[in-house]
Amino acid sequence: MNNDIQNATGKGDTRRYVATGLPNIQRLQRHEGDTEGLLFFLVKRKGKRIRRALKTSVLAEAEKRVKILRDLIRGEKWTALAGAKERGGFVTLPKLFETYLAAATIKVKKRNVKALQHVLRVAGKNPEGSSEQLTAVLVWQFNRAMLARAGEDMRRQGKAGISANSHMRQARSIFAAPIMPAYNGLTLPDIVPFMKAAKAAAPRVQYVEPPAGVMRTIAARYLELKAKDPGAYAWFLLGAFVGLRNTEVCAAEWSWIEEDGDGDHWLRLATRPHWRSKTSRSRDVKIPGAILAELHAIRGVTVDGIVADRRYLVPGGHKTERTNRALRRLNQWLRACGLDAAVFDKGFYELRKFFGNTKAWSTGDLYHTARVMGNSPQVVEQYYSSDRGRAPIAIEIPKVSTYVIRKATRAMAAEAAAPALEGAV
């Protein structure tokens, strides 16, 4: 029998595998001269010939997938690719998710499940199907789809790559070492290829500050938020002058503020029973006296007829108001000031970037800026500081008298001491 042409399904069947001229790639022909049949990967492994469907009829696409398969074979990771008959017994993804949610104790476990479901959907897979879909090819298909969504714009491709890698990190955390014993009763495929597949390669994204005219408009108008929208005003202050992440703004409480020996106030960002810090290390962020006084001035204000919860730095009668709604209104205000959503799509996050860029410029110390931001110096240099060598447009801190600041700090001290006195009585 010709080595290039082999019967596919037995005697009397006209279908056959035909060499394509590329190593290890064959095409399944349904009739003579068929050039659109599906392509297959053929390899001889330990004396056994194994064929793997590449699920495409385009040679260029098949060649890319074969590169991944070859790398996995060289790394002795063939279990996930062999197509063995026992594959039908692999656990379904819903059962895997159910087991993970029952065993995991971290607060973000539901987010991790949603991340893996997102990866599967974007890659064209079935989140309700078998766990055999968790392969290196899945990672490659997901990364390719995410970058394709960004189009030809290099900046968008860079952001898409960051987003793809973030989703993949969350998805892979379902198979973190501490949780793996919970899967002992389940039949899982070899997940090593899925865990070790290369991350999305995207263009480097260097921080670019918003146009000077937009920043000047924001600087001139932000004080109007204090009377019109106290919640959005608090978000603005904590982003532009304290440099907090959005999750930190949502959770920050007045009880987290501590005073040092010099009379300066610091916001202590550390994992607590009801809140988990993004980084393993806690950090203290200095709150300027004027910002502290401004935040105290709107503490407990009435929003939409509801008295704000005095525990939180952002005023609001309930969690949705002080988080999602206030953030959405601030983003709308930033757009009205001219911040282009097509270029600066994260709104509030541009304020944190402004804070990092200003801090890096004024101090010239990336390490110090990184400690304040809760990032590495490399991340600060790339995502939070401009490489254009220009001084950032300044946003002046609110002008508050020393008397008002002292009055606010005394009021804070009295409010903090009140519960302790009540407990003593």
212-424 classified as CATH 1.25.40.10: no
Spatial contact of 356 and 243, defined as CB atoms under 8 Å apart: yes
* Residue at 279: amino acid letter: T
Q: Is the dihedral of CA 399, 403, 409, 415 positive or negative?
A: negative
Count the Cβ atoms, other than its own, within 10 Å of residue 5.
13
pLDDT of residue 172: 94
Q: How many whole angstroms separate alpha carbon 80 and alpha carbon 64?
A: 18
State the virtual CA torsion across 6, 8, 14, 19 in degrees, nearest 10.
-40
Q: How many whole angstroms separate alpha carbon 211 and alpha carbon 377?
A: 25
Run of H or E residues at 291: helix 289-297
User: Structural domain boundaries of the chain?
Assistant: 5-59+66-76, 86-196, 212-424
Q: How many whole angstroms separate alpha carbon 153 and alpha carbon 91?
A: 40
What distances in angstroms separate CA 415 from CA 292, 307, 314, 408, one per listed residue?
14, 17, 17, 11
HEC per residue, 237-290? HHHHCCCCCHHHHHHCEHHHEEECCCCCEEEEECCECCECCCCCCCEEEEECHH
Buried/exposed 279-303: b ≥16 CB within 10 Å, e otherwise = eeeebbbebbbbbbbbbbbbbebeb
pLDDT in tens, the chain (425 residues): 344 444 444 444 567 888 888 888 888 888 887 888 888 888 876 677 777 788 788 888 888 778 777 766 665 554 444 443 334 468 999 999 999 999 998 878 999 999 999 999 999 999 999 999 999 999 999 998 998 888 887 777 878 888 899 999 999 999 998 899 999 888 888 888 899 888 887 666 777 788 989 999 999 999 999 999 999 999 999 999 999 999 999 999 999 999 898 889 999 998 888 888 887 778 899 999 999 999 999 998 887 778 888 899 999 888 899 899 999 999 999 999 999 887 787 889 999 999 998 888 888 888 888 888 888 888 888 778 876 667 788 899 999 999 999 998 898 888 877 654 444 43
pLDDT of residue 224: 94
Q: How many whole angstroms separate alpha carbon 326 and alpha carbon 312?
A: 13
pLDDT of residue 388: 63
Q: What residue has token string 């030809």?
A: 152
pLDDT of residue 303: 77
pLDDT of residue 218: 95
C-alpha 126 chain-centroid distance: 22
**Residue 425 DSSP SS3:** coil
pTM, full prediction: 0.64
